[in-house]
């Protein structure tokens, strides 16, 4: 059963009976939930619980073995990440998915390069991309030394900034964040979390955040979806739960401590 936390919420994404099989291995089973407009949902679970698999299905990287996805009330099928991007779904993975041999501007505009026709030939507009990239980064208060510098020479925080710039500019419906602060220090982590809250406030966009850090989860999310062994173990409103209960759902301790009926 899917669980919402307000009758007044506008549904952005709905997952119905989503399953994913890899041969005889069932990575996801009977996933039913909704994501509402302008909310941040924490997606938590132990390693192998199915979090990244679910994110990849929503992002169009992989197809579900069964089930349906609805975006703004309409059933959708993504055959690639680019199709998901066209629907305003942006993803930032833990590995950032950056091309290190390209500069910051080129990485920011991957799949959205700006061209101008000259004598029937598409000419890449690098200066225009650099100009717009600087505008995007300055808009969110992020400083990168130069849009022309290759990503391989940037710090971890600067690389993350480039990846985050994509979702700030083009994430119109839903932003998927897979461990966005995993490789960052304390100060850089705070900047990322502040940016997430700022973007949600200014763009009224929905987000799904995967994180093993429950402190971060409880700091910025509205609801928490717990996955265990590929299934939803619980959906909790943040203000009505606590870290101990979430840990119990993640580990299955809630089942171990339940009395057996009839004994």
Contacts of 101 (CB under 8 A, 6+ apart): 150, 151, 152
Q: What is the mean pLDDT of residues 17-22?
A: 97
**Residues 147-189: pLDDT tens digits?**
888 888 887 777 777 877 777 777 788 999 998 887 777 887 8
**Residues 47-63: pLDDT tens digits?**
999 999 999 999 999 99
Could you tell me the pLDDT band of residue 255, with boundaries at 50, 70 and 90? low
Could you tell me the pLDDT band of residue 2, with boundaries at 50, 70 and 90? very low
Over the range 5-42, which residues count as b (16 or more CB within 10 Å of their CB) and which as e?
beeeeebbbbbbebbbeeeeebbbbebebbbbeebbbb
Question: Where is mean pLDDT largest: 114-123, 187-196, 241-250?
Answer: 241-250
Stretch (H or E) spanning 31: strand 25-36
Query: pTM of the full predicted structure?
Result: 0.81
Under a CB-based contact definition with an 8 Å cutoff, are residues 149 and 160 in contact?
no
Eight-class DSSP state of 46: S
What is the structure's pLDDT at 96? Answer: 59
CATH number 3.90.79.10 is the correct assignment for the domain at 11-102+158-256: no
Q: Where exactly are the structural domains of the chain?
A: 11-102+158-256
């Amino acid at each position: 059963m899917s669980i919402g936390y307000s009758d007044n919420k506008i549904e952005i994404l709905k997952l119905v009976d989503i399953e994913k099989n890899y041969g005889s291995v069932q990575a996801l089973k009977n996933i039913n939930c909704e994501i509402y407009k302008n909310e941040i949902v924490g997606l938590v679970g132990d390693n192998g619980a199915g979090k990244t698999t679910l994110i990849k299905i929503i992002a169009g990287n992989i197809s579900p073995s069964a089930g349906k996805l609805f975006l703004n009330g309409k059933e959708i099928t993504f055959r690639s990440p680019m199709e998901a991007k066209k629907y305003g779904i942006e993803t930032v993975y833990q590995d950032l998915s950056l091309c290190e041999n390209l500069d910051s501007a080129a990485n920011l505009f991957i799949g959205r390069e700006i061209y101008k026709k000259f004598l029937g030939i598409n000419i890449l507009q690098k200066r225009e991309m650099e100009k717009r990239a600087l505008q995007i980064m300055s808009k969110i208060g992020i400083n990168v030394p130069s849009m022309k510098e290759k990503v391989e020479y940037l710090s971890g925080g600067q690389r993350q900034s480039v990846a985050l710039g994509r979702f700030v500019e083009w994430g119109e419906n839903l932003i998927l964040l897979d461990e966005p602060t995993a490789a960052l220090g304390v100060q850089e982590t705070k900047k990322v979390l502040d940016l997430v809250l700022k973007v949600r406030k200014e763009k009224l966009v929905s987000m799904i955040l995967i994180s093993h850090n429950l402190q971060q989860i409880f700091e910025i999310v509205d609801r928490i979806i717990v996955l265990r062994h590929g299934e939803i173990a619980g959906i909790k409103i943040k203000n009505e739960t606590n870290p101990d209960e979430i840990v119990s759902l993640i580990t299955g301790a809630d089942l171990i401590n339940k009395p057996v009926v009839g004994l």
